[in-house]
A and B are shown apart, each in its own frame.
Chain A
Amino acid sequence: MTVLPRWVDIALIPAINLVLAFFVSGLIVIWIGENPLIAMQVMLNGSIGSAYGWGYTLYYATNFIFTGLAVAVAFHARLFNIGGEGQAAIGGIGAALVCLHFGWPHWTLAFPAAIVGAAIFGAAWAAVPAYLQASRGSHIVITTIMFNFIASALLVYLLVNVMKAPGQMAPESRSFPAETHLPTAHEMFAWIGVSFPRSPPVNVSLLVAIAASATVWVLIWRTRLGYAIRAMGWSEPAAIYAGIRPFRIIMVTMMISGGLAGLMAINTVMGEAERLLIDSVQGAGFVGIAVALMGRSHPVGVVLAAVLFGMLYQGGVELEFEMPAVSREMIVVIQALVILFTGALENMVRAPLERIAAMFR
């Protein structure tokens, strides 16, 4: 087997995959009778062509960083956490309880508390499948995906029967008090005297996402725990030989993973909606899988992939608006193609590249 140079592995292969995905998407756009170059231009303009576009792109990217990191951390222990969706939903309950049940004087106090609340709730939700895997061998893929449905049912029950604001029809909690509202990019840029559009929901949570990425890097590559997680991921028999306890690693890793997914709630529930909605996750948990795959489970890769998927989301909304022939479903198809090429079909590009590399030796 040939080992590829590092830059090929981390930069060239994802780039080629991305080009292929866009090429096939372009063919689909041609097939429905639109000009793919114009479609591309609309998407780029809409997502990164203006401060407004950036504001939305980064808002989505914040979600994807959290869920992408969640999947990436679990990956290092060879655990496939498909439950980001449910963990993020339950994290929302944690954030909402923190915001609603304490009289916070200022957002700077409410924010750290909400971070802890969201993370603990997400971690607790991941702990159950983790325990079932660690002690009973129930496969984590199956249990986490089932827990997504349980989470969604639980959220509906709570919003309809327990947390619903009195005197209204919608299954929503009451709005969080103004003291818990997070500063958006508009406000934060205003502090340093730079103007930024008011409406994009990107907020201070983005900084938490960046900090979380750095923390995950330190955890995986610089701590003894991260070392044990990676050892367990590469080889469980070897880990046992080295005195690493799989039970402990599975529990700890999944709870870190679930906590990261739960953190997404500070961006959506606390930062954007400012109340608990019935569907605030909107598939970000699943996108996290694609983000982690494309980002090679490395925090830097996850951040870059999250921004790319943020662009696809925001650009897709614009495209739907500008080109009525391109429906919402079309956008989903393009996103799916990116996932297909960057995640599932990775080896399609790798094998020929390895052959080329071997020729030049």
Chain B
Amino acid sequence: MRANGSESRRETAAPAIELRNISKSFGAVRANRDISLAVAPGTIHGIVGENGAGKSTLMSILYGFYRADAGEIFINGEPTRIPDSNAAIKAGIGMVHQHFKLVHNFSVLENVVLGAEDGLILRSTLTRARKLLTELADEYELNVDPDAIVESLSVGHQQRVEILKALFRHADILILDEPTGVLTPAEADHLFRILRSLRDEGKTIILITHKLREIMAATDTVSVMRRGEMTATLKTSETSPEQLAELMVGRKVLLQVDKKPAVPGPAVLDVENLTIEGERGETALKNISFTVHAGEILGIAGVAGNGQSELLRALGGIEQAQGTVRINGTEIPLEGANSGADARRRNGIAHVPEDRQTLGLVMEFKAWENIAFGYHHDPSYGRTRWLLDIEAARRLTGVALKKYDVRPADPDLTAQSFSGGNQQKIVLAREIDRNPDLLIVGQPTRGVDIGAIEFIHRQVLELRDSGKAILLVSVELDEILSLSDRIAVMFDGEIIGTRNANETDEKELGLLMAGIAEVKTT
């Protein structure tokens, strides 16, 4: 492993972080194997890798959540032991977690000082924090109203509070774990501007992400992890997304999907004024109307939490709703006895849910039990109404697993022993193989490795080409753009705009995702 000081003046200084031969195992799983890494001070260093490559484990070791089985950590050249996160904070390391750790009913100021108070009386700490927040706001575009209550802030602003928390604790090294998952493209650009100005002030930043585009846009150097090992460390300016993808997966991958033009047929799904009241009386879905035709993919774009989940749940028969939904011209009930998920399956709707681990699969069930899941009353699983023909189910599952390239193709393995990508393929196999009229699919490639993404996208397109209607919900704009024929953008429970995929671009969709509808209309 070579050191990667990016400019000559930095080469003389000791690395801000140096890891030497770090290893960590969980039982038989070797999450980190002999990892060495040196990050020069004043740089933005990206770490990419597929799910399960060991990125999070490595950062957890650096932040004191786990202890390494072997290896050493040096901070600014000093050997440092980090047994817990307090030690990490003392060593000048700050972490911005993927899921924010904020107290929702506290003000920004209270959240920033929480756990770092000077003494029993808060006033002096709060005054100090307020002064720092004003300074940082000017210096780094990190403006947040110090007196705003956190739950009233947008996700992007909440993330800034997390960064401010770390800076208030004098962090010189900032670790950001998948920071852009919940941001609009514009918010993500703003975040990267903040990170760059922090870097120019001499802070060291580690950016963990699976989005290669962000690595290319924001980092100075990048390390690639695969199966617990650090496979390469490169200068960002000297690499390409294709090379990084190949290093992540270990083989060449197609990042672009080839797609034939759609041949839309008659309307399959017709939604009119679909509305869901949320739990606290707020409206989660507001009068949504749209149509999906046979042989077409309608993509629903939007930042997470703008009603997409509720839309999927309403169509999948998991949540009751108001309005009118027609399948092939026949109205289906949205409330009452025949509005459950079993009725939706009889209506020809297949549903690949957003969260395969809590909805789509029973993790403790074997593959054959999961392939039958939701269709366990089907006559193919036994001639009688009461008994389940296990042999038939296992045989059918064996065929389905092979057809959808699930590895290993063993019907008796439990769902939890498959990787994320293979779990998703099990869900797809089950839902697509029933030959539905309409497939509704949420986040089809979330937490799925690149190799499986390719396969899943191809399956969805094949289903479209065979004349089925597909409603695709994803927070990954790239995925929406590469698969959809038409794109509807959701914001705050409404569809704020619909565009043809070949007449729009990321910029326009990004503005729509931020709730700015008045751009141009096509």
A residues neighboring B (CB under 8 Å): 1-2, 222-228, 230-231, 234-235, 237-238, 240-245, 354, 358, 361
B386 touches A1 (CB 8 A): no
| Cα–Cα distance between A276 and B335 once the two chains are bound (Å) | 49
Q: How far is the CB of B427 from chain A (nearest CB, A)?
A: 10
A227 touches B27 (CB 8 A): no
A222 touches B388 (CB 8 A): yes
B360 touches A227 (CB 8 A): no
The secondary-structure label for the interface of chain A is helix
Q: Which residue of A lies closest to B28 (CB)?
A: A361
| Cα–Cα distance between A227 and B364 once the two chains are bound (Å) | 12
B316 touches A241 (CB 8 A): yes
Q: Which residues of A contact B136 (CB under 8 A)?
A: none
Q: Which residues of A contact B341 (CB under 8 A)?
A: 240-243
Q: How far is the CB of B461 from chain A (nearest CB, A)?
A: 25
B317 touches A231 (CB 8 A): no
A241 touches B365 (CB 8 A): no
Q: Which residues of A contact B344 (CB under 8 A)?
A: 243
Q: How far is the CB of A205 from chain B (nearest CB, A)?
A: 26
Complex A-B: 10 CB contacts under 8 Å: A1-B26, A224-B381, A224-B382, A224-B387, A227-B388, A240-B341, A242-B341, A243-B341, A358-B27, A361-B27
Q: Which residues of A contact B373 (CB under 8 A)?
A: 231, 238, 242
A245 touches B340 (CB 8 A): yes
A227 touches B358 (CB 8 A): no
Q: Which residues of A contact B14 (CB under 8 A)?
A: none
B27 touches A223 (CB 8 A): no
Task: Given A222-B390, A227-B369, decide whether A243 and B374 contact each other with a Cβ distance below 8 A.
Answer: yes
Whether B42 is near chain A, meaning CB under 8 Å from some CB there, is no
Task: Given A358-B28, A361-B28, decide whether A243 and B340 contact each other with a Cβ distance below 8 A.
Answer: yes
Whether B345 is near chain A, meaning CB under 8 Å from some CB there, is yes
Binary flags per residue of B346-376, CB closer than 8 Å to A gives 1, else 0: 0000010100001111111100010011101
> Which residue from A2, A228, A238, A243 sits with its C-beta under 8 Å from B358?
A238
| Cα–Cα distance between A39 and B50 once the two chains are bound (Å) | 61
Q: Which residues of B contact A227 (CB under 8 A)?
A: 369, 372, 376, 388
Which of B386-436 touch A at CB < 8 Å?
Answer: 386-388, 390
9 pairs of A and B residues whose beta carbons are closest in the complex = A243-B342, A242-B374, A243-B341, A2-B27, A241-B359, A234-B362, A358-B27, A361-B28, A234-B364
A241 touches B27 (CB 8 A): no
Q: Which residue of B lies closest to A244 (CB)?
A: B342
Q: Which residues of B contact A241 (CB under 8 A)?
A: 316, 318, 341, 351, 353, 359-360, 374
A234 touches B316 (CB 8 A): no
B residues neighboring A (CB under 8 Å): 26-28, 316-318, 340-345, 351, 353, 358-365, 369, 372-374, 376-377, 381-382, 385-388, 390
> Which residue from B317, B342, B362, B382 sits with its C-beta under 8 Å from A238?
B362
| Cα–Cα distance between A241 and B341 once the two chains are bound (Å) | 6
The secondary-structure label for the interface of chain B is loop
Q: How far is the CB of B258 from chain A (nearest CB, A)?
A: 32
A243 touches B345 (CB 8 A): yes
Q: Which residues of B contact A231 (CB under 8 A)?
A: 362, 365, 369, 373
Q: Which residues of A contact B343 (CB under 8 A)?
A: 243
Task: Given A2-B28, A241-B318, A243-B345, decide whether A234 and B363 contact each other with a Cβ distance below 8 A.
Answer: yes
Q: Which residues of B contact A361 (CB under 8 A)?
A: 27-28
| Cα–Cα distance between A1 and B27 once the two chains are bound (Å) | 6
B27 touches A243 (CB 8 A): no
Q: Which residues of A contact B318 (CB under 8 A)?
A: 240-241
| Cα–Cα distance between A237 and B341 once the two chains are bound (Å) | 11
A224 touches B376 (CB 8 A): yes
Q: Which residues of B contact A225 (CB under 8 A)?
A: 386
A235 touches B376 (CB 8 A): no
B365 touches A224 (CB 8 A): no
Q: Which residues of B contact A235 (CB under 8 A)?
A: 358, 362-363
Q: Which residues of B contact A244 (CB under 8 A)?
A: 342
| Cα–Cα distance between A244 and B318 once the two chains are bound (Å) | 10
Q: Which residues of B contact A222 (CB under 8 A)?
A: 387-388, 390
Q: Which residues of B contact A237 (CB under 8 A)?
A: 358-359
A223 touches B388 (CB 8 A): yes
Q: How far is the CB of B506 from chain A (nearest CB, A)?
A: 32
Q: Which residue of B lies closest to A225 (CB)?
A: B386
Q: Which residues of A contact B390 (CB under 8 A)?
A: 222
| Cα–Cα distance between A235 and B318 once the two chains are bound (Å) | 14
Most buried by A among B345, B376, B390: B376
| Cα–Cα distance between A323 and B27 once the two chains are bound (Å) | 49
Q: How far is the CB of B352 from chain A (nearest CB, A)?
A: 10
| Cα–Cα distance between A1 and B363 once the two chains are bound (Å) | 14
A223 touches B386 (CB 8 A): yes
| Cα–Cα distance between A356 and B363 once the two chains are bound (Å) | 25
Q: Which residues of B contact A242 (CB under 8 A)?
A: 341-342, 373-374, 376
A238 touches B360 (CB 8 A): yes
> Which residue from B316, B361, B364, B377 sits with its C-beta under 8 Å from A224?
B377
Task: Given A222-B388, A225-B386, A358-B28, decide whether A243 and B362 contact each other with a Cβ distance below 8 A.
Answer: no
B360 touches A223 (CB 8 A): no
Other than the given A224-B386, A234-B364, A238-B359, 15 more pairs (CB < 8 A) read A2-B27, A223-B386, A223-B388, A224-B385, A226-B388, A230-B365, A235-B358, A237-B359, A238-B358, A238-B360, A238-B361, A241-B360, A243-B344, A243-B345, A244-B342
